[in-house]
Amino acid sequence: MSFDVAPYGAFIWPAYAVTVIALGGLIVWTIAKWRAAKAKLAALEKQ
């Protein structure tokens, strides 16, 4: 396994960074929405 990406590091690392940010953001957003919806339903069912 090698992380030597010379001489294209200026393109490879940003490609991986944008992927991690976009997919990570999508995962966090999805989980946050699920938790918020679940909490809202639980609160309403308690009433």
Partner 1 sequence: MFDWLFRYANPARFLGLSGAVLPWLAAVTVLTIGTGLYLGFSAPPDYQQGRTVLIMFIHVPAASMATVVYLSMAVASLFSLVNRHILADVAARTAAPIGAVFTLLALATGSLWGKPMWGTWWEWDGRMTSTLVQFFLYLGYSALWNAIEDETKAARICAILALVGAVNIPIIKFSVDWWATLHQGESIVSGHVAPVFLGPLLTMMGGYFLLFLTLWLVRIRTMIVERRARNLMGAEA
Question: Does 28 engage in binding with partner 1 (CB under 8 A)?
Answer: no
Q: Residue 39 carries which side chain, given as an amino acid letter?
A: A
Cβ neighbors of 13 (< 8 A, separation 6 or more) are 5
Binding mask of the shown chain, residues 6 to 25, with x at each position contacting partner 1 by CB under 8 A: xxx--xx-xxx-xx--xx-x
Q: C-alpha distances in angstroms, 16 versus 7, 20, 43? A: 16, 6, 40
Please tell me whether residue 46 binds partner 1 under the rule CB under 8 A: no
**Residues lying near partner 1 in the complex (CB under 8 A):** 1-8, 11-12, 14-16, 18-19, 22-23, 25-27, 30-31, 33-34, 37-38, 40-41, 44-45, 47
